[in-house]
Amino acid sequence: MPTPVCTKCRRPIPPDDINVANDVAYCRGCNLSYRLSELTLDDNLETWVDLNQPPRGAWFINAGGDSVIGATNRSLGTAFGLLFFALFWNGIISIFVLFALSGTLHVLNLPQPDWFPAPKMNGGSMGGGTVLFLWLFLTPFMAVGLFVAVSCLNCLFGRTEVRVAGAQGAISTGVGALSWRRCFDASQVKAVRILQTINSKGQDSFSLLIETREGRQFKFGSLLSGERRQFILSALRKTLLR
């Protein structure tokens, strides 16, 4: 069974010093710890990952020749951080949205609740041009608030899933109807691997990459834990590259 190799002494790291759940591989001879995902980017993981025993939060279903491979995107730490930011950001934006709604109702001569702010700006009532400008100004801020809120839901209830039915393949990421779905030709897949990049903070970022013979690339799984990502990699290789 192939094992990760220490980049310093080039010796295999035994299974007892590998913690898949925490994405850690430890070389006792060099007293060095590595990210397991870094050492196994190009290894044949399918030879040592048991598809019948998926890690918690992952699944592999093979019924009638059709396969469903996926895992939850759940990350409570990330979700709580996004929730705090979403509440803070959207709480501030909601004040300006109420102000814009008040101006809109005023321009349309429609009644508004007593608790709405007065539709006034610079001491005078808001006109149609001012209301339109305010909505245009608020649009990107509302888009950011919506994106953060959806990202928070994705970290709580979202999933990453690949469905393969014959030559038809589909990747979906998200929560229910809010999922982003992409289709690919499963018969044209030439490689499935882990892609390592550097994010805006200078930190390593890992995702899954499906490449086809037509030159198309499908990147996904950046929200998955290292253990779930490696399991999906193994299952995809067994399913698509057999």
Single out the residue in 156, 172, 193 at which a domain terminates.
156
| Whether pLDDT at 1 is above 50 | no
Inter-axis angle of helices 76-107 and 128-157, nearest 10: 160
* CATH for 226: 2.30.29
Please report, as a single letter, which amino acid is at residue 55: P
Give the residue-averaged pLDDT of 191-219.
83
Is pLDDT larger for residue 10 or for residue 195? Answer: 195
Q: Are residue 209 and residue 229 in the same domain, yes or no?
A: yes
Q: Are residue 96 and residue 113 in the same domain, yes or no?
A: yes
Judged on CB neighbours under 10 Å (0-12, 13-18, 19+), 115 is: exposed
Strands lying side by side in the sheet with 18-19: 18-19, 24-27, 32-35
- Which domain covers residue 98, as residue numbers? 76-156
| Whether pLDDT at 39 is above 70 | no
Question: What's the chain's average pLDDT?
Answer: 85
The pair of three-digit structure tokens given for residue 67, joined into one six-digit string: 């396969």
Q: Are residue 69 and residue 163 in the same domain, yes or no?
A: yes
Q: Are residue 81 and residue 70 in the same domain, yes or no?
A: no
Q: Are residue 201 and residue 212 in the same domain, yes or no?
A: yes
Tell me: the pLDDT tens digits for 95-119?
Answer: 999 989 998 998 888 888 888 888 7
Q: Are residue 91 and residue 197 in the same domain, yes or no?
A: no
CA distances from 53 to 50, 57, 61 (A): 5, 11, 12
44 pLDDT tier (thresholds 50, 70, 90): very low
Structurally, how many domains does the chain consist of?
Answer: 3
Q: Are residue 67 and residue 173 in the same domain, yes or no?
A: yes
Nearest to 96, CA basis, from 140, 149, 61, 46? 140
Single out the residue in 109, 141, 156 at which a domain terminates.
156
Q: How far apart are CA 111 and CA 91, in angstroms?
A: 24
Give bridge partners of residue 220 from the DSSP assignment.
208
Is pLDDT larger for residue 58 or for residue 116? Answer: 58
Q: Are residue 83 and residue 113 in the same domain, yes or no?
A: yes
Is pLDDT larger for residue 85 or for residue 19? Answer: 85
| Whether pLDDT at 37 is above 70 | no
| pTM summary value | 0.69
Q: Are residue 80 and residue 152 in the same domain, yes or no?
A: yes
